[in-house]
Every structure is written in C-alpha cells, then in structure tokens.
Amino acid sequence: MAHPEGHTHHITPTRTLVAVFAGLVSLTILTVVTSRMDLGGFNVPLALGIAGVKGTLVVLFFMALKYDNRVNMVILTVGALFVIVFLSFTMLDTQFRGDLPNTTRGTIMDQAREDEALKAREPDPESIRISRPDTP
C-alpha cells in the first residue's frame, strides 16, 4: 500500500526493544512476587498499576504509538482515563461493601432464615406470663 508523501515508518532500535522486553520480564517477576504477599486492600491496585505500566510499554514501543500521530495518543489516554475512573468506582463499591451501618452481610434469604431460627427459640408468651403477687 502506498504511503502519503512524507510519511515513513519509524524503525525502533533493537537495543530499545530489548530494554523494553527486559522491563516487561522484570515487571512480570514483580507481579508474581507481589501476588504472594498479603497487602490487604492494596493487592488489587498494585496489580492493576503494574499491568498498566506493562500495557503502556507494549503500546508505546512494540506498537510504536510513541512515534505515531499524537491524536492517537490522546485517544488512547482518554480511553485509559475512563477505564481507570470506572474501575475506581467498582473497586470502591466492592472494597467497602458492608461497612455502612445500614447494610448487613448476607442475602435476604439468609436473614429470613436467621429470623425464623430466632422465632423458633422464643418461649411461648403464656409460659412467661407474670402472675399477680399474693397479697395478705
């Protein structure tokens, strides 16, 4: 296919590609090491951050977006920001589920079973009726 006047392909030096590959391998090892640690609520954001850096390296160098038209970079960046915003809202929802005082853990069916079990343990109202004290 013919290219427009003045448009040439950028050839990335082998040294750069090898350095990016080494960085990707290092980040993969870091992902494996951090997956074995218990960092609490920080596990998922850390894994997503490492994956984001790896994806950025692949897109910039192996897919040559770094040397492409800047409009394509803006489109990718805006799309990535929207993904980050949506994932942040999802993580906030799942991370703090059940922390509010007006919510409970478990399903409605579980709560109904617990209510039935409590009702079954209640004594008969006639057996706990208080009688009038004897007066002389």
Helix ranges restricted to H, the chain = 14-35, 43-57, 70-95, 108-121
Confidence of residue 126 (pLDDT cuts 50, 70, 90): confident
State whether residue 10 is helix, strand or coil.
Answer: coil
Summarised one tens digit per residue, pLDDT across range 49-75 is 999 999 999 998 888 888 888 898 899
Would you state the pLDDT for residue 122?
82
If you average pLDDT over residues 87-107, what whole number do you get? 72
Two tokens, residue 71: 């409009």
Would you state the pLDDT for residue 53?
94
Rounded Cα–Cα distance for residues 21 and 39 (Å): 27
- Whose structure tokens read 């920001």? 81
Catalogue the long-range contacts made by 49-52 (C-beta closer than 8 Å, 24 or more residues apart): 52/80
Average pLDDT taken over every residue of the chain: 83
Higher-scoring residue by pLDDT: 82, 69? 82
Confidence of residue 20 (pLDDT cuts 50, 70, 90): very high
